[in-house]
Structure 1
């Protein structure tokens, strides 16, 4: 009786131990797969952090380029405004010294022929505004006007030469600034494209991490023995 009881006790213990082992194995049968999924998730999180840093830098680069481009655009506007004001001063000046300017133009003086094309066109345009009678007189008198008004003609010639030089320098500077502005605009477009690409990568990364977390949750150990 005692031997039978002892055998029964050992049998029961064996069954319980085997059941415990089988239960543990059964409730965590996806351990290896879960660990692999966790490793992949860790890699995804690391890559996500790296892309986030790249995006922060891309935003900084874009902001810097936009600021530089805005500055160049302001310089372009300032240079154009400066030229408009300079042209207005030329109009006012020629209105006061039209006779001398017409005489210089009619005589083909060096002060006129030395002007750049755009300045010459501006002078012709200004002298032609309501000055047909004066133009005829200047053509007749020509250089004679400047003989009796040498000081005024010299002043007008000097003014026009200075205007031409300033206008040429302004035009060259404007072209340089506009070229730089165009380069910055292209650079800004490149930064915007980079930002958009990185944002899309982050969205894809978030979705992948969410799927990974869901997968790990599905593979977690289940049951009362876990």
Structure 2
């Protein structure tokens, strides 16, 4: 059985992962659409920036967030002064860190699904008089739906395991920013923290594996529904 402190970490992890995925998913769809279907100056640079969190050390990502969204950051100071929004040392800040880290995974899944959509079907629908909006909702969106759902679940799994950017940007505060990975780290610093670390490790593995299996199951189920299996 988990202790109350451990349950708080689990609840906070699920909360952060859910909201990180929820808020980042629309931007992931937009980024994937631009990369798969658009041509514009600086597209290569945009592509690199989107996937940069995958290759940068997570501590570096967290430090960049601190420099930009911290209390004295280039953007954070105005968020505080104009809107009263403070991200540093808050659950909202942990959500932002998780969203940034997991963003490339959802973009990649959606982009691959979008690139696999048969453009001939969209062209045929347009020649039959369908508007661009009708084509998107009746053809493009259903065909890219497996990628969207898979991307969302992968983002959820990555957010549950985020550590480096979170601890660098919003620190390790119990009940506010101490998610499961940070709670495990804290437990390893205690002389008698092995049991707590093991319990939370098991929970982390179960949650991550469950997210990945669900992503695979949803992808196969939707492909069967739309006749692409």
Normalised to the residue count of structure 2, the TM-score between the two structures is 0.26
Higher relative contact order (CA 8 A, sep 6+): 1
Over alpha carbons, which structure has the higher Rg? 1
Structure with bigger helix share is 1
Normalised to the residue count of structure 1, the TM-score between the two structures is 0.26
